[in-house]
Amino acid sequence: MKEVLLDTETTGLSSVKDKIIEIACIEIDDHIPTGEKFHVFLNPEMEISQGAYETHGITREFLDDKPKFKDIAKEFQEFINEKKLIIHNADFDLAFLNKELKEAKLPVISKANVIDTLNVAREKFPGAQNSLDALCKRFKIDNSRRQKHSALLDCELLAKVYIELFEKKEPSLQFNMDNDESVVQNVKILKNREHLIQEITSEEKEIHKKFLKKDLPKSSMLN
């Protein structure tokens, strides 16, 4: 089954006021990269907040000659069409993407078609740090190149985290004896055999003692 790992970088944290400046998508098939990618920088036509710049290091000057979202919207939608999306902290990315898709008069992305690895990690490791960096550390994934956030690099790291979250599961060795008919049946059989065990009579004990006093043939001692 083909899926798409997706990440974005933005001018800030508000999906109402801010815009997307980078989109990266990596296609995988049964958790293996197919080599198909969609990666683009976008001109937001607005300033980048200081906090956002410190996070990803992308400048307004770098983006001045880049396309606008509406210019690549159809190509982007064709790339992700009918594929499950894998996103870390999906609510953030979807808020920005769906706002832009609405403005481009294109169908929005349904949350039903998204696997949020942040939610998966929170369920699997409750109370732990579950950022992308924290998960890389937990799974011993080398993220030394991640000095700043990069949508494309983050997708590459997310691909490895995704495999760890969903493929490396310990096999369950739990046995439910209450529902195992063969076990229950065997227990019942053993209980029913209790009436077969009887006390021997005094007469039988005396016969047994006499038998033991007799000399047994030597050949019987060798068997």
pLDDT at 183 over 60: no
Q: How confident is the model at residue 207 (pLDDT cuts 50, 70, 90)?
A: low
Q: How far is CA 62 from CA 47, 57, 73, 93, in A?
A: 12, 10, 20, 22
Among the listed residues 31, 149, 195, 208, the single catalytic one is: 149
Average pLDDT over residues 17-29: 98
Which of 110, 112, 130, 129 has its CA nearest to residue 120? 130
Q: Is 149 a catalytic residue?
A: yes
Asked if the model's pLDDT at residue 139 lies above 60, the reply is yes
- What is the chain's percent helix, strand, coil content, to nearest 5? 50, 15, 35
Please give the structure tokens belonging to residue 143.
């993220």
The pLDDT value given to residue 167: 77
The average pLDDT across 46-56 equals 97
CA angle 166, 9, 104 (to 5 degrees): 100
Span 116-136, average pLDDT: 97
Asked if 19 and 96 count as a contact pair (C-beta separation under 8 A), the reply is yes
> In this predicted structure, what is the pLDDT of residue 150?
95
Residue 193: what pLDDT? 42
Residue 188 pLDDT > 80, yes or no? no
Q: From CA 55, how far away is CA 149, in angstroms rounded? A: 6
CATH 3.30.420.10, domain 2-167, yes or no: yes
DSSP reduced 3-state for 19: coil
CB atoms within 10 A of CB 115: 17
Q: What percent of the chain has pLDDT over 90?
A: 72
Q: What secondary structure letter does DSSP report for 68?
A: P
Place 89 in a pLDDT band, splitting at 50, 70 and 90: very high
- Burial label, 33 (beta-carbon count in 10 A; 0-12, 13-18, 19+): middle
DSSP 198: -
User: Domain segments of the chain: what residues?
Assistant: 2-167, 177-214
> Do 100 and 19 form a contact (C-beta atoms < 8 A)?
yes
pLDDT at 186 over 50: no
Is the predicted pLDDT of residue 172 greater than 70, yes or no? no
Phi, then psi, of 217 in degrees rounded to 5: -55, 140
* Residue whose C-alpha is closest to residue 75's, from 101, 113, 44, 45: 101
| Position 93 pLDDT exceeds 80 | yes
Q: Does the pLDDT value for residue 196 go beyond 90?
A: no
Report, as an integer, the average pLDDT of 41-58: 97
